[in-house]
Amino acid sequence: MRKKIIIGNWKMNKDKKETENFLNEISKKKFETDKDTIYGIAVPSINIETFSLLKTNEMKISSQDISQFDSGAYTGEISSSMLKSFGVTYVVIGHSERRAYHFETNKTVNLKAVNAIKNGLVPIICVGETLDEYENKQSKEVVGKQIKESLKGLDLSKIVVAYEPVWAIGTGKTATFEYAQEICEFIHSITSKELLIQYGGSVNGSNIKDLLNQPDIDGALVGGASLEVDSFISLISK
């Protein structure tokens, strides 16, 4: 049986003090998680050290991006091995915000994922259609192409895919459970039944259980609702 994996994405939020406050607060809370559920947070790189020093539970650390290169003259970039040396396990790659604002292509996403795996990180590869594509009923065509090109040559047992319809990210509009399930089932059908597939897009404590009950949805990638301790706990509690 596939495990469940819930990862928060803090995006460009929380400075050092706010990161410390979150971890101090969560360390005082009592909550129970399912032993088969992996959970963690994709933290801004500059706060990963603070996060790794203060975290007191099973929380995994993810980064929000990596360089496709190992080292060298790439000003501003951070490599997989640097992240690994700070205890990072997962790395979000090809988030729609990076595809849109940093012009990342499926090819770049693929190269980053290859580099992550080579250095022992688990890539969380994001795919998803825009509102226009959704309305024009092109979702499967678009997502199918993203999957084919972004996952090219990858060992599917070493990656996670996050299906995130762009129109549902940060908008409060969640895809219906049936629709999210249909696309995740489609992704399984063109990859492998072993692949872990998260859904992302306005997930919160009230809708996560229903989403996770869908047979092809193995977890969630969560932005807004991962920022506050209580709402994060509502995502990961049994």
Just list the catalytic residues.
Answer: 95, 164
164 binds ligand PEP (CB under 6 A): yes
169 CB-side CA count, 13 A: 25
Nearest residue to ligand PEP, by Cβ distance, number only: 223
200 binds ligand PEP (CB under 6 A): yes
Question: Pick from 66, 109, 202, 232: which binds ligand PEP (CB under 6 A)?
Answer: 202
CB of 81 to ligand PEP, least distance (A): 25
CB of 14 to ligand PEP, least distance (A): 14
DSSP 17-70: HHHHHHHHHHHT------TTEEEEEE--GGGHHHHHHH--SS-EEEES---SSS
How many Å separate Cα 3 from the centre of its chain? Answer: 15
Place of tokens 């990858």: 154
221 binds ligand PEP (CB under 6 A): yes
Place of tokens 């040396």: 85
CA–CA–CA angle 65, 66, 67 (5° rounding): 140
Question: Pick from 47, 201, 211, 229: which binds ligand PEP (CB under 6 A)?
Answer: 201
CB of 54 to ligand PEP, least distance (A): 23
166 binds ligand PEP (CB under 6 A): no
123 binds ligand PEP (CB under 6 A): no
State whether residue 88 is helix, strand or coil: coil
Residues that bind ligand PEP (CB under 6 A): 9, 11, 164, 169-170, 200-203, 221-225
